[in-house]
């Protein structure tokens, strides 16, 4: 069953055309990676799904229902949760208070805070620490926990390893592997290609706001030409 479908989606920032006839499909309990250089349109894709960037043309369906014209709040209440690259935790609240706020905002059946501490033992040790006193990796884990506590139908992760030290990336991978094992449907954007492909089953490559390739992770791992052409380090505009 398709959880998410984008078909011929076009999005703009003002007069700047960012996404060009973009197609995307995500199945139930699947993990899909969106790959591409900085500025390719990955973050814009997630923001379009959540409604923060309105699509001008094309179709966006969530569980078979058209959500293209829904408000940000309505899309969130349907169970689509974004973990943004900026993390956006509350700096003056404790770890527990941050999760309680997210739990109180849930429109469905939120999970228990203790359950999140079982998944994120690092946070359990920091439950009384304020958000501003957490490291970047700890803030990222809290951001993911805040989304998961709302029991999302679709979890969108935007560049979760951005700015993290390698040892913290390894810790985050262990946590997300456990999350994925719970059969959560996930779309992840990531510059760290190895990290994303280790977690994912399928991948899309986006280049200049359009589909460049789509297929299984196994197929992509056999295509060094694609990895070199679309995913090698290169400068581009802000995503």
pLDDT greater than 70 at residue 236: no
Residue ranges per domain, the chain?
Answer: 2-231
Q: What angle do CA 167, 172, 177 make, to 5 degrees?
A: 130
Task: Give the whole-angstrom CA distance, residue 230 versus residue 224.
Answer: 10
Summarised one tens digit per residue, pLDDT across range 195-211 is 999 999 999 999 999 99
Q: Considering the domain 2-231, what is its CATH architecture?
A: 3-Layer(aba) Sandwich (3.40)
- Reading phi first (left if > 0) and then psi (alpha if -120 to 50, else beta), residue 107 is in alpha
Summarised one tens digit per residue, pLDDT across range 36-47 is 998 999 999 999
Tokens 């959560």: give the residue. 184
Q: Could you say which DSSP state residue 218 is in?
A: H
pLDDT of residue 207: 96
Contacts of 218 (CB under 8 A, 6+ apart): none
pLDDT band at 73 (very low <50, low <70, confident <90, very high): very high
């Amino acid at each position: 069953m398709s959880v998410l479908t984008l078909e011929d989606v076009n999005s703009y920032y003002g007069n700047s055309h960012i996404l060009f006839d973009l197609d995307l499909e995500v199945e139930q309990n699947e993990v899909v990676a969106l790959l591409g250089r900085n500025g390719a349109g990955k973050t814009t894709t997630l923001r379009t799904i959540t409604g923060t960037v309105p699509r001008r043309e094309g179709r966006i369906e969530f569980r078979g229902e058209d959500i293209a014209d829904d408000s940000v709040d309505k899309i969130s209440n349907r169970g689509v949760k974004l973990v943004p690259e900026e993390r956006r935790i509350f700096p003056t609240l404790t770890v527990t208070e941050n999760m309680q706020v997210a739990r109180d905002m849930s429109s469905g059946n939120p999970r228990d805070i203790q359950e999140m501490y079982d998944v994120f033992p690092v946070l359990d040790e920091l439950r009384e620490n304020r958000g501003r006193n957490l490291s970047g990796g700890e803030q990222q884990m809290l951001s993911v926990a805040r989304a998961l506590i709302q029991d999302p139908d679709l979890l969108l992760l935007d560049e979760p390893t951005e700015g993290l030290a390698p040892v913290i990336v390894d810790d985050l991978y262990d946590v997300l592997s456990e999350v994925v094992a719970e059969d959560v449907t996930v779309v992840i954007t990531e510059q760290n290609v190895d990290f994303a492909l280790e977690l994912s089953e399928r991948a899309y490559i986006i280049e200049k706001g359009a589909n460049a390739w789509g297929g299984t992770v196994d197929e992509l791992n056999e295509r060094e030409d694609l990895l070199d052409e679309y995913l090698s380090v290169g400068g581009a505009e802000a995503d």
